[in-house]
Amino acid sequence: MADADRDDLDALAGEFVLGTLPADERRAAEARYTADPAFRRLVSDWESRLQLLADTAGDVPVSSTLRERVLNAVAAAPAAGEPGDNVLDLRRSVRRWRAVSAIVGAAAAVLAAIVVTDQTRPAPQTEFVAVLTAGGESPAFVATVNTAAGTISVRRVTAVAPPDKSYELWSIAPDEAPKSLGVVEASYSQPLPVPPSAELTLAITLEPKGGSPTGAPSGPPVFSGKLVATEE
Amino acid sequence: MAGGTQAELAALLGDVARGDRRAFALLFERTAAKLKASVYRILRSEAAAEDAVQDAYLRIWRRAADFDAAIASPIAWMTTIARHAAIDMVRRGAERVSAAGDAIDAEVIERLADPAGGGEQRATSDQIRSCLERLEADRRGMVLLAYCYGWSREELAGRYGRPAATVKTILRRSLIALKECLGGGR
């Protein structure tokens, strides 16, 4: 990584910890934290550097009601490691993808944001956002899911595939093999064969022109991220 | 506070990552007052602070497997999650009493001069204080308002009469200056 890129990444990590990133950039950084050990280290260093400032706040006792509320909420929540925990699912996916690929870390320094939202209802209660990261700040793709029509559309923002390659989009449900959603051309809209949910990871790989010949990804994802439900 | 050493907290987080609800209850006991103090400073309301603490611990529960004991400090990792939960509430429009601007950096720096721990922590605390004092007053104020009080770029832009994009640049430069002053590492 060039020095300038590394400095940018370090400043991004610093602002992430500081808390001043806009919401979409923060979510991108969170996804990156899960997927990228180098970024995780930069963030951890910032957390440690600034922790003394947090310590100046001292202690404020919590009520016993709060303790009960929190423990009850957790008793009802899926545990980390149980199905339904999408952060862990993402990490598993990332590990699985890495395990089948020797080309770890060679991916382009680009980041893709996939925004999945229900555009048919005037006031959706939940918006799904997934951020596909591979090492930078600017979005490479934006995808929209029309949940009523059951389709997913992807708009290319910055990413450009080499002339002899194609981008292929995959959906990865927990503990399942990646499912191809087809080659992403300049204008892409396809049926989404699975319901959009926070358990889904979306990933894009570079494949031979026309898509993977085997029906399975032939390389690591160059952009990937999980769907997260955001509150509106 | 109930406290617990970093190693104990890291071990608890490891158990929590494996779905251990008893470890989670212990972790809550040991860290909740500290996290609440951080979010209270941002939200300035008892009820909002307790909501943020609840949100934070649910995030901690879900993300415990993300915690990497080899590189991260458990309390610092949890503090980031808690501060982000509080900042999310503020950005969603939760009411908060705006902290009176001018007194802020003086207040935080004052407290840095009197850390709870002695010895080593005292030395680090002196160091970050002197590095903060080396920043231009506006820059120091921006960093402290953002970190301690959860101010956004836009809020800082309003207060310091600069465009938000400039605030972003200033914040990033100030952080890097702070890092260099602190010696580049931790």
Q: What is the percentage of chain A residues whose pLDDT exceeds 70?
A: 62
Q: Which of B160, B176, B175 is nearest to B104 (CA)?
A: B160
Contact with chain B for residue A97, Cβ under 8 A: no
Range of the domain at A124: 86-231
DSSP letter for A62, please: P
Looking at residue B40, what is its pLDDT? Answer: 95
Looking at residue A86, what is its pLDDT? Answer: 47
Q: pLDDT tens-digit profile of B128-138?
A: 989 999 999 99
Architecture of domain B6-91: Orthogonal Bundle (1.10)
Smallest CA–CA distance from B42 into chain A, residue? A57
Q: Which of A40, A74, A85 sits opposite B68 (nearest CB)?
A: A40
Q: What is the mean pLDDT of residues B32-36?
A: 97
Domain count, chain A: 1
Higher pLDDT, A188 or B158: B158
Locate tokens 């300035």: which residue? B44
Is the pLDDT reported for residue A3 higher than 80?
Answer: no
Please return the burial class of A62, using the count of CB atoms within 10 Å of its CB with bins 0-12, 13-18 and 19+: buried
Q: B103-181 has which CATH code?
A: 1.10.10.10
Is the pLDDT reported for residue A96 higher than 60?
Answer: no
Looking at residue B54, what is its pLDDT? Answer: 96
Distance from CA of B58 to the nearest CA of A (A): 7
Contacts 24+ apart (CB under 8 A), B157-165: B159/B101
Looking at residue A124, what is its pLDDT? Answer: 39
Across the interface, whether the CB atoms of B72 and A10 are under 8 A apart is answered no
Residue A68 DSSP SS3 = helix
Please report which helix (H) or strand (E) contains residue A127, including its range: strand A126-133
The encoded tokens of residue B153 equal 């770029």
Contact list, A50 vs chain B (CB under 8 Å)? 76, 147
Distance CA A169, CA A146 (A): 17
Distance CA A2, CA A7 (A): 9
Which pLDDT band holds residue A139 (cuts at 50, 70, 90)?
Answer: low
Question: Percent helix, strand and coil across chain A, each rounded to 5?
Answer: 30, 25, 40
Distance CA A40, CA A30 (A): 9
ipTM of the complex: 0.90
Looking at residue B76, what is its pLDDT? Answer: 97
Across the interface, whether the CB atoms of A51 and B61 are under 8 A apart is answered no
The encoded tokens of residue B8 equal 């104990």
Which pLDDT band holds residue B93 (cuts at 50, 70, 90)?
Answer: confident
The domain ranges of chain B are 6-91, 103-181
Which pLDDT band holds residue A148 (cuts at 50, 70, 90)?
Answer: low
Is the pLDDT reported for residue A81 higher than 70?
Answer: no
Distance from CA of A70 to the nearest CA of B (A): 5
Across the interface, whether the CB atoms of B17 and A19 are under 8 A apart is answered no
Residue A141 counted as domain residue: yes
Q: What is the mean pLDDT of residues A3-16?
A: 89
Residue A67 counted as domain residue: no
Which pLDDT band holds residue B122 (cuts at 50, 70, 90)?
Answer: low
Looking at residue A175, what is its pLDDT? Answer: 76
Residue type present at position A63: S
Contact with chain A for residue B50, Cβ under 8 A: yes
Contact list, A40 vs chain B (CB under 8 Å)? 68, 71-72
Is the pLDDT reported for residue B123 higher than 70?
Answer: no
Contact with chain A for residue B57, Cβ under 8 A: yes
Q: pLDDT tens-digit profile of A186-224?
A: 667 777 777 777 778 888 888 888 888 888 888 777 777
Residue A17 counted as domain residue: no
Across the interface, whether the CB atoms of A33 and B25 are under 8 A apart is answered no
Is the pLDDT reported for residue A125 higher than 50?
Answer: no
A154 backbone dihedrals φ, ψ, rounded to 5°:
-125, 130
- The answer to whether the CB of A107 falls within 8 A of the CB of A79 is no
DSSP letter for B65, please: G
Contact with chain A for residue B96, Cβ under 8 A: no
Q: What is the mean pLDDT of residues B104-130?
A: 69
